[in-house]
Amino acid sequence: MRPAGDVRRALLDAAQQAPQGGWCLRELASRAQVGVDAARRTVDNLTRAGVLAKRGEARMPHRNRPVSLYGLPQVGREDATGLGLGAVMRVWH
């Protein structure tokens, strides 16, 4: 497996400092000091891989529509059924 690229590492470092609600794509790109186009492509890949998670939406002054907020996935969060991974593993065992 290839090592993580510079843009990926910079975005993950910025995401670790995100507040509880998360940051929008432009804020992540600004804090990581990378271009918005490179950040958009990398954030899409990180979200698809499960390394970043969408935390919700917010209204921003520079957009007419709400923007997605991104942050690191919350550890120990239960899924939509209300069963966490531990509960599923106990039932399965």
Give the pLDDT band (50/70/90) at residue 4: confident
With a cut of 90, say whether residue 30 has pLDDT above it. yes
Alpha helices in 1-93 (DSSP H): 6-16, 25-32, 36-49, 85-92
SS3 71: strand
Fold of the domain spanning 6-92: Arc Repressor Mutant, subunit A (1.10.10)
Give the pLDDT band (50/70/90) at residue 36: very high
* Domain boundaries along the sequence of the chain: 6-92
* Percent of the chain residues topping a pLDDT of 70: 78
Give the pLDDT band (50/70/90) at residue 34: very high
